[in-house]
Amino acid sequence: MRDELEHTLSGWNGKATQPLKTAYETLRTEPDLVDLLIDLSENQSCERGATWLLKYAFDRDPPTFSNAQSAQHLAGISGFSHWETRLHFLQYLERLTIPDDAEAPLLDFILDALAAENRFLRAWAYFGLALHSERFPAHRDQAIDRLNEAMARETAGSVTVRIRKALERIAP
């Protein structure tokens, strides 16, 4: 199972999603699928496809991440090298349990994504900032300030929509 999936993910061109959807349908009932995708997300040649599959799973049949799985996945985010990997992760961050020891590394990851050229990554990073401040309320006021500043500065519609959703989530 692992070798086949690793081959599919490492050979993925980033465009044709049918091979990934087929792999998911074949493996979706496997009890170790989440563990396998977390492991493969730490492999640079598989990370983009593995996180795409995790996002796809969350959108279809939301898997249950244990606290240990969430912690392991969050521990690997600093190694994500592709912008799409980072985007996928931010798109399903809301579904993960964020352990206490992930406070600083997750914030670093989000702040790095906020500086990205890619507007979609930036948009989801703003939403991730709100999620982070929900989990770690000591950061809430700072997050609201940053989101308000970004709302005044950002011009891309996709970004301002996410900022608005983030503010609705955490602002009084």
Q: Are residues 123 and 87 in the same domain?
A: no
Q: Are residues 33 and 91 in the same domain?
A: yes
Cα of first residue to Cα of last residue in the chain, in angstroms, is: 48
Domain boundary among 42, 62, 97: 97
Q: Are residues 148 and 108 in the same domain?
A: yes
| pLDDT tens profile 18-52 | 999 999 999 999 999 999 999 999 999 999 999 99
Low-confidence ranges of the chain (pLDDT < 70): none
Picking from 115, 90, 88, 69, the residue whose alpha carbon sits closest to that of residue 20 is 88
Structural Rg of the chain based on CA atoms: 16
Q: Are residues 82 and 141 in the same domain?
A: no
Range of the domain at 56: 1-97
Domain boundary among 73, 97, 121: 97
Backbone φ and ψ for 98, nearest 5 degrees, come out as -100, 115
